[in-house]
């Protein structure tokens, strides 16, 4: 698993990825690159394959064809001709290089906020207890939850839980952070506190691939927008271009029109 | 009536101990084997899942008494000749293993899928995902049916008197045969079973409270 981390290779490289659930063809040949330090947001109607693509990147979802490489290393299958699925141990090691934040937070309900973060630090990164705790407290501080360290997830608001979710992911120092509709399950007044954390991480150069319904956030935080429809990338470009009034892509235009109509209500 | 019971007690004590002993062995062995097979049923490859599925379905479809008779009277024909005590324990344990398999499967499957995803995402390998994330949450759902099953095991063990094992019920019947006072003796026997199970259910409620802090 030699990594070729020259500045020219993209950090994430997705090539011709195909994926079906039974007879439903969810991803129909996806090509996508994300450079080091870049923030890319995927938008698109539900059912277009956005979340599936994101879940393929850390192999939560195995893909049928194509290749996904992080820092030059094939993710789910061995890079050689055999294309054999990686062993459980290799997969775990690969996944530790990507952080993921989930729509429904998925915090471990039996562990405190602090323990949610230290679990990976001690078991995967091999840090000692004290070191893991220091690091976890540092990240809890970054998301403004130092005083909630010993609380169980059920004692936290949705916005607080999601901030712990972000701290849990970034504390592992992943090469890339995957954000899967992380504000979709939040009350509107709690969305801001979560997005602020993400914006500050972006400002520090964290590489991120996000799936989002927050068009405003996508525009402000991302260098590039990817518009997916029916399992393909239908349009791709900088926010100014994608959201421009004279956008020529018919599907994108009608998606944005329906979207802004729904949000003006 | 009281002196009837006082007369009976020395005869019942050994039986009571046998009932407790059989229940303990049955529960302990079936819990260990049932957990292993239950985890295999949920996460194992198909070659492991199907035999476990089949075993559990078949055993749970057989009345426990038929199973006991099969082990005691049927197995000797295949050359496996067990003493009544061993046959009783084996029969009850097989029955219980099938139940524990289902408790385990049910408990694991009610843990939300996202928990496994989150555990994978931080890079935990399978055994650590299971021990640190899934199992602690599954325990809370496993305990209530399992504790119910423990009292079932105590009650179900009364069937082994039919194999001639000298358990509590067997002891009661022996005394009744001597004193011809079934009412007092069966009442007293029922009380003994009740006391054992009531103690168990008090203990089980305390155990459930211990794990009730886990909420989604």
d(CA A64, CA A27): 9
Strand duo A224-229 + A98-101: pairing: unpaired
Say if B133 is an interface residue toward chain A (CB within 8 Å).
yes
Q: What DSSP string describes A146-213?
A: GGGTT--GGGS-HHHHHHHHHHHHHTT--SEEEEESTTTTS-HHHHHHHHHHHHHHHHTT--EEEE-S
Say if B124 is an interface residue toward chain A (CB within 8 Å).
yes
**What's the gap in Å between the CA of B48 and the closest CA on chain A?**
18
- pLDDT, residue B68, reads 93
Q: Report chain B's mean pLDDT, rounded to a whole number.
A: 90
8 Å CB contact of B118 and A102? yes
Tell me the average pLDDT across A132-152: 96
Which of A83, A69, A65, A88 is CA-nearest to residue A17? Answer: A65
B120 → closest Cβ in A60, A104, A108 = A60
User: Least CA distance to B114: which residue of chain A?
Assistant: A106
Cα torsion for A57, A63, A65, A66, to the nearest 10°? 0
Q: Which CATH number fits domain B2-210: 2.40.110.20, 3.30.70.1450, 1.10.3720.10, 3.60.15.10?
A: 1.10.3720.10
Cβ(A214)–Cβ(A220) under 8 Å? no
A92 → closest Cβ in B123, B137, B215 = B123
- pLDDT, residue A6, reads 54
**What's the gap in Å between the CA of B121 and the closest CA on chain A?**
6
d(CA A220, CA B144): 50
| Ramachandran area for residue A61 (φ above 0: left; ψ -120 to 50: alpha; else beta) | beta
Q: How many CB pairs under 8 A join A and B?
A: 78
8 Å CB contact of A95 and B123? yes
User: Least CA distance to B112: which residue of chain A?
Assistant: A106
User: Which alpha helices (DSSP H) does chain B contain, by range?
Assistant: 2-43, 46-60, 64-69, 84-109, 113-121, 126-128, 135-156, 168-179, 182-210
Tell me the average pLDDT across A215-242: 92
Question: For A208-217, B1-10, B22-31, which range has the lowest pLDDT when averaged over its residues?
Answer: B1-10
d(CA A121, CA B124): 10
Cβ(A29)–Cβ(A18) under 8 Å? yes
- pLDDT, residue B216, reads 58
DSSP conformational letter for B70: I
**What's the gap in Å between the CA of B112 and the closest CA on chain A?**
9
Say if B210 is an interface residue toward chain A (CB within 8 Å).
no
User: What Cα–Cα distance (Å) separates residue B175 from each residue in B11, B14, B85, B188, B192?
Assistant: 7, 13, 21, 12, 15
- pTM value? 0.87
8 Å CB contact of A93 and B112? no
Q: Report chain A's mean pLDDT, rounded to a whole number.
A: 91
Say if B121 is an interface residue toward chain A (CB within 8 Å).
yes
Q: Does position B209 have pLDDT exceeding 70, yes or no?
A: yes
- pLDDT, residue A79, reads 76
Number of H helices and number of E strands within chain B?
9, 0
Say if B45 is an interface residue toward chain A (CB within 8 Å).
no
d(CA A203, CA A231): 30
d(CA A181, CA B70): 57
User: Which residues contact residue B150 at a Cβ distance below 8 angstroms, ignoring those fewer than 6 apart?
Assistant: B23, B27, B200, B204
A60 → closest Cβ in B112, B117, B214 = B117
- pLDDT, residue A220, reads 87
Say if B113 is an interface residue toward chain A (CB within 8 Å).
no
Tell me the average pLDDT across A60-81: 89
Say if B205 is an interface residue toward chain A (CB within 8 Å).
no
d(CA B7, CA B77): 41
d(CA A114, CA A103): 20
Handedness of CA B169, B171, B177, B181 (dihedral sign): negative
- pLDDT, residue A119, reads 97
A109 → closest Cβ in B117, B119, B214 = B214
Vertex B115 angle, CA A145 and A194, to 5°: 30
DSSP conformational letter for B159: G
Q: Does position B204 have pLDDT exceeding 50, yes or no?
A: yes
**What's the gap in Å between the CA of B175 and the closest CA on chain A?**
52
d(CA B189, CA B176): 11
- pLDDT, residue A19, reads 95
8 Å CB contact of A102 and B136? no
Cβ(B122)–Cβ(A124) under 8 Å? yes
d(CA A170, CA A139): 8
Task: Write out pLDDT tens, residues B79-89.
Answer: 888 889 999 99
- Could you tell me how many residues make up chain B? 216
For chain A, which residues lie within 8 Å of any Cβ of chain B, measuring from their own Cβ?
Answer: 55, 58, 60, 88-89, 91-100, 102, 104, 106-110, 119-120, 123-124, 152, 154, 168-169, 172
Task: Write out pLDDT tens, residues B148-190.
Answer: 899 988 888 888 888 888 888 888 888 888 888 888 888 888 8
Cβ(B192)–Cβ(B168) under 8 Å? yes
8 Å CB contact of A168 and B122? yes
In chain A, pLDDT over 90 holds for what percent of residues? 74
Phi, psi (deg, nearest 5) at residue A38: -85, 150
Q: Does position A102 have pLDDT exceeding 50, yes or no?
A: yes
- Could you tell me how many residues make up chain A? 265
In chain B, pLDDT over 90 holds for what percent of residues? 54
Phi, psi (deg, nearest 5) at residue A40: -120, 130
Cβ(B25)–Cβ(B93) under 8 Å? yes
Tell me the average pLDDT across B39-63: 96
Chain center to CA of A232: 18
Q: Does position A1 have pLDDT exceeding 50, yes or no?
A: no
A106 → closest Cβ in B114, B126, B215 = B114
Cβ(B49)–Cβ(B40) under 8 Å? yes
Cβ(A146)–Cβ(A71) under 8 Å? no
8 Å CB contact of A108 and B118? yes
- pLDDT, residue B135, reads 95
Q: Does position A2 have pLDDT exceeding 50, yes or no?
A: no
Q: Does position A183 have pLDDT exceeding 60, yes or no?
A: yes
User: Least CA distance to B127: which residue of chain A?
Assistant: A88
Tell me the average pLDDT across B36-52: 96
A120 → closest Cβ in B123, B126, B136 = B123
8 Å CB contact of A154 and B112? no
d(CA B188, CA B171): 12
Query: Which residues of A fall within a CB distance of 8 Å from B112?
Result: 104, 106
Q: What DSSP string describes B32-54?
A: HHHHHHHHHHHHS-HHHHHHHHH
Q: What DSSP string describes A84-125?
A: PBPPHHHHHHHHTTEEEE-TT----TTS-HHHHHHHHHHHTS
8 Å CB contact of B128 and A123? yes
User: Which residues contact residue A86 at a Cβ distance below 8 angstroms, ignoring those fewer than 6 apart?
Assistant: A76, A77, A78, A94
8 Å CB contact of A124 and B114? no
Handedness of CA A244, A249, A254, A259 (dihedral sign): negative
Query: Which residues of A fall within a CB distance of 8 Å from B210?
Result: none
């Amino acid at each position: 698993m030699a990594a070729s981390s020259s500045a020219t290779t993209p950090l994430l490289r997705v090539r011709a990825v195909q994926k079906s659930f039974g007879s439903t063809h969810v991803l129909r040949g996806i090509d996508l690159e994300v450079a080091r330090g870049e923030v890319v947001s995927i938008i698109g109607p539900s059912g277009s394959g956005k979340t599936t693509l994101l879940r393929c990147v850390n192999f939560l979802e195995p893909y049928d064809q194509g290749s996904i490489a992080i820092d030059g290393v094939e993710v789910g299958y061995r890079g050689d001709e055999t294309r054999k699925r990686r062993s459980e141990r290799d997969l775990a090691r690969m996944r530790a290089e990507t952080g993921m934040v989930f729509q429904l937070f998925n915090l471990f309900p039996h562990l405190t906020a602090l323990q949610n973060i230290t679990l990976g630090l001690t078991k995967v990164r091999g840090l000692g207890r004290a070191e893991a705790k220091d690091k976890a407290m540092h990240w809890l501080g970054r998301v403004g939850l130092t005083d909630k360290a010993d609380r169980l997830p059920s004692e936290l608001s949705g916005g607080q839980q999601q901030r712990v979710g972000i701290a849990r992911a970034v504390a592992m120092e992943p090469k890339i952070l995957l954000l899967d509709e992380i504000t979709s399950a939040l009350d509107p007044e709690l969305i801001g506190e979560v997005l602020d954390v993400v914006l500050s991480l972006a400002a520090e150069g964290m590489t991120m691939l996000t799936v989002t319904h927050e068009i405003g956030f996508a525009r402000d935080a991302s260098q590039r927008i990817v518009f997916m429809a029916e399992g393909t990338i239908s349009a791709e470009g900088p926010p100014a271009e994608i959201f421009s009034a004279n956008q020529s892509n018919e599907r994108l235009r009608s998606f944005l029109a329906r979207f802004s109509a729904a949000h003006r209500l | 009536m009281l002196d009837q019971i006082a007369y009976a007690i020395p005869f019942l004590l050994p039986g009571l101990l046998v009932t407790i002993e059989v229940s303990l062995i049955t529960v302990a062995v079936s819990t260990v084997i049932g957990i292993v097979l239950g985890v295999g049923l949920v996460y194992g490859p198909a070659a492991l899942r199907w035999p476990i599925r089949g075993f559990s379905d078949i055993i749970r479809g057989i009345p426990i008494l038929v199973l006991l008779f099969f082990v005691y009277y049927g197995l000797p024909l295949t050359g496996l000749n067990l003493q009544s005590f061993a046959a009783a324990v084996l029969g009850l344990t097989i029955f219980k293993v099938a139940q524990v398999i289902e408790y385990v499967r049910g408990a694991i499957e009610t843990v939300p899928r996202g928990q496994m995803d989150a555990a994978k995402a931080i890079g935990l390998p399978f055994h650590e995902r299971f021990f640190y994330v899934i199992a602690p949450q599954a325990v809370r759902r496993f305990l209530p049916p399992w504790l119910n099953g423990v009292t079932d095991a105590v009650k179900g063990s009364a069937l082994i008197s039919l194999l001639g094992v000298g358990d509590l019920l067997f002891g009661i019947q022996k005394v009744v045969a001597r004193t011809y006072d079934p009412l007092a003796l069966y009442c007293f026997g029922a009380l003994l079973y009740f006391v054992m199970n009531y103690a168990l259910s008090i203990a089980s409620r305390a155990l459930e409270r211990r794990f009730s802090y886990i909420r989604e």
